[in-house]
Amino acid sequence: MKKLIASNKPLVKIVALTAVLLVVGLTPLPRESVELRVASKKFTESVILGDLLELLAESRGINTAHYAELIGTQTVFKSLANGQIDAYPEYTGTLAQEIFADRDIPSDEALRAELNKLGLKMSAPLGFNNTYALALTRKRAEELDVSRISDLRRFPELKVAVTHEFLDRGDGWPALVQNYDLPQTNVLGVDHDIAYRQLLSGEVDVIDVYTTDAKIGQSDLRVLEDDLQFFPRYDAVWLYRQELDSDYPQFVEAMQQVEGALSESAIQALNAAVEERRMTAAQAAGDFLDRKLGVSVQAVSESWGQVVARHLIEHLNLVRRSLIPAIVVGIALGVFCQRRPRIGSGVLAVVGLLQTIPSLALLVLLLPIVAALGYQNLGEGSVTAIVALFCYCLLPIVRNTYTGIDGIQRGTIESATVLGLNRTSRLLEIELPIALPTILAGVRTAGVQNVGFATLGAIIGAGGLGQLILRGIRINDTTLILAGAVPAAVLALALQFAIDALEWAVVPRGLKRGRSAHD
Amino acid sequence: MLEFSEVEKAYGNTTVVHRLDLKIESGEIAVLLGPSGCGKTTILRMVAGLVPPTTGQITVDSLPLRPDTLRDVRRKLGYVIQEGGLFPHLTAKQNVTLMAKHDAWPGDRVEERLAQLVDMTQFPAEGLDRYPNELSGGQRQRVSLMRALFLSPSILLLDEPLGALDPLIRAGLQRDLKQIFARSQATVLLVTHDLVEAGWFADRVFLIEAGRIVQQGALSDIVKNPANAFVEEFVSSQVLTP
Instruction: State the best of A412, A427, A429 to mutate against chain B, taking most chain B CBs within 10 Å.
Output: A412
- Let me know: does A76 contact A39? Beta carbons within 8 Å: yes
Burial profile A285-311: b = 16 or more Cβ within 10 angstroms, e = fewer: bbbbbeeebebebebeeeeeeebbebb
Instruction: State the best of B47, B65, B86, B89 to mutate against chain A, taking most chain A CBs within 10 Å.
Output: B89
Q: Could you tell me the strand order of the sheet in which B55-60 lies?
A: B14-24, B2-11, B55-60, B63-64
Question: CA geometry: angle at B162 spanning B158 and B165, to 5°?
Answer: 150
Which chain B residue shows the shortest CA-CA distance from A3? B104
Classify residue A427 as exposed, middle or buried by CB count within 10 Å of its CB (0-12, 13-18, 19+): buried
Which chain B residue shows the shortest CA-CA distance from A519? B136
Closest by Cβ to B135, choosing from A414, A419, A517: A517
| Residue A161 bridge partners (DSSP) | A188, A207
Contact A411 B84 (CB under 8 A): yes
Number of neighbours of residue A37 by Cβ within 10 angstroms: 24
Contact A419 B99 (CB under 8 A): yes
Q: What is the number of CB-based contacts under 8 A between chain A and chain B?
A: 104
Which chain B residue shows the shortest CA-CA distance from A437? B89
- Let me know: does B65 contact B4? Beta carbons within 8 Å: no
- Let me know: does A226 contact A133? Beta carbons within 8 Å: yes
Contact B134 A433 (CB under 8 A): no
Give the pLDDT confidence score for residue A517 in this predicted structure. Answer: 41
Number of neighbours of residue B82 by Cβ within 10 angstroms: 18
Minimum distance, in Å, between the CA of residue A6 and any CA atom of chain B: 6
Give the pLDDT confidence score for residue A519 in this predicted structure. Answer: 39
Contact A421 B49 (CB under 8 A): no
Residues in chain B with CB shorter than 8 Å from the CB of A7 are 102-104
Q: Grade residue B239 by pLDDT with cuts at 50, 70 and 90.
A: low
Give the pLDDT confidence score for residue A153 in this predicted structure. Answer: 93
Number of residues that this document lists for chain B: 242
Which chain B residue shows the shortest CA-CA distance from A413? B85
Contact A409 B85 (CB under 8 A): yes
Instruction: State the best of B102, B165, B189 to mutate against chain A, taking most chain A CBs within 10 Å.
Output: B102
Instruction: Say which residue, A326 or B170, is predicted with more confidence.
Output: A326
Closest by Cβ to A519, choosing from B74, B75, B137: B137
Closest by Cβ to A7, choosing from B71, B79, B102: B102
Q: Answer left, alpha or beta for residue A416, where phi above 0 means left and psi between -120 and 50 means alpha.
A: alpha
To the nearest whole percent, how much of chain B has pLDDT over 90? Answer: 68
Minimum distance, in Å, between the CA of residue A12 and any CA atom of chain B: 14
Instruction: Say which residue, A372 or B161, is predicted with more confidence.
Output: B161
Residues in chain A with CB shorter than 8 Å from the CB of B77 are 418
Cα distances (Å, whole numbers) of residue A224 to A141, A221, A262:
9, 9, 20
Q: Dihedral sign, CA of A309, A310, A313, A318?
A: negative
Q: Where are the beta strands (DSSP E) in B34-178?
A: 55-60, 63-64, 77-80, 155-159
| Residue B208 bridge partners (DSSP) | B213
Minimum distance, in Å, between the CA of residue B86 and any CA atom of chain A: 6
Residues in chain A with CB shorter than 8 Å from the CB of B89 are 433-434, 436, 507-508, 510-511
Each of the 519 residues of chain A gets a pLDDT tens digit; together they read 555 665 578 888 889 999 999 888 888 877 667 889 999 988 889 999 999 999 999 888 899 989 888 877 888 998 899 888 999 999 998 898 888 888 888 888 999 999 999 999 999 999 999 988 999 999 999 999 999 999 999 999 999 998 887 887 767 888 899 999 999 989 988 887 788 888 989 999 999 988 888 888 878 899 999 999 888 889 999 999 999 999 999 999 999 999 999 998 899 999 989 888 888 888 899 989 888 888 777 656 678 888 899 899 999 999 999 999 999 999 999 999 999 999 999 999 999 998 888 888 888 888 888 888 878 777 777 888 999 999 999 999 999 999 999 999 999 999 999 999 989 999 999 999 999 999 999 999 999 999 999 998 888 878 899 989 988 887 778 888 999 999 999 999 999 999 999 999 999 988 986 544 443
pTM of this prediction? 0.81
Own/partner long-range contacts of A296-301 (Cβ < 8 Å, ≥24 apart):
A296/A59, A297/A55, A297/A56, A297/A58, A297/A59, A299/A51, A299/A55
Instruction: State the best of A8, A419, A434, A519 to mutate against chain B, taking most chain B CBs within 10 Å.
Output: A419
CA distance A170 to B37: 78
Half-sphere exposure for B197 (CA within 13 Å, toward CB): 23
| Closest-CA residue to A442 (of A476, A400, A471) | A400
User: Would the pLDDT of B177 be above 80?
Assistant: yes
Closest by Cβ to B138, choosing from A415, A417, A519: A519
Q: Name, in order, each residue with C-beta under 8 angstroms of A242's C-beta and a sequence gap of 6 or more.
A: A116, A119, A120, A121
If interface means Cβ-Cβ distance under 8 Å, which residues of chain A face chain B? 2-3, 5-7, 409, 411-412, 414-422, 425, 429-430, 433-434, 436, 507-511, 515-519
| Closest-CA residue to A95 (of A212, A230, A210, A234) | A234
